[in-house]
Structure 1
């Protein structure tokens, strides 16, 4: 079994992990509370136009997200952003 290195954590790292776990617990509690609060309005029906709008909105959100990630990937591969990085040393070819 691999050693995860948990014995080498400093006090700051332990506090950071504890704070993140507390924030995760608060978020989970909030999601559960909001889920229970909406049970009273579950009888509201969405018509055909609502489903179409939900589907198109989801599709185009995914399309834009995937397109932007692809642009970022190809831009990184071709080095288009290298000239804008003032901290990178210029390489001579």
Structure 2
């Protein structure tokens, strides 16, 4: 793993922690209390959302790089 990749991962995790702390502070300012089960559900929902977006982006890049998106017939070209 390169230093750039490691730095990007650490930075992304730091931003995620800051966002979670911001959500917690905002909700506590509004008087909203959430149980441990609520925080677990919130975290699992965020994790599932991130996993879905990573998976879809990976599929897009994979299909583009493997030639799945290439035009096979010249008559399909516009113009």
Using the size of structure 2 for normalisation, the TM-score is 0.53
In the alignment, structure 2 segments of 5+ residues that lack a partner are 1-25
Q: Which runs of 4+ in 1 moved over 2 A?
A: 83-86
TM-score (norm 1): 0.45
> Structure 1: any 5+ residue segments left out of the alignment?
1-37, 89-93
Greater relative contact order: 1 or 2 (C-alpha under 8 angstroms, separation 6 or more)? 2
Deviation at 1:84, TM superposition (A): 7.3
RMSD value over aligned CA atoms? 2.7
User: How far apart, in 2, do the equivalents of 1:42 and 1:59 lie?
Assistant: 25
Q: Could you say which residue in structure 2 is the equivalent of 1:54?
A: 42
2:69 pairs with 1:87: no
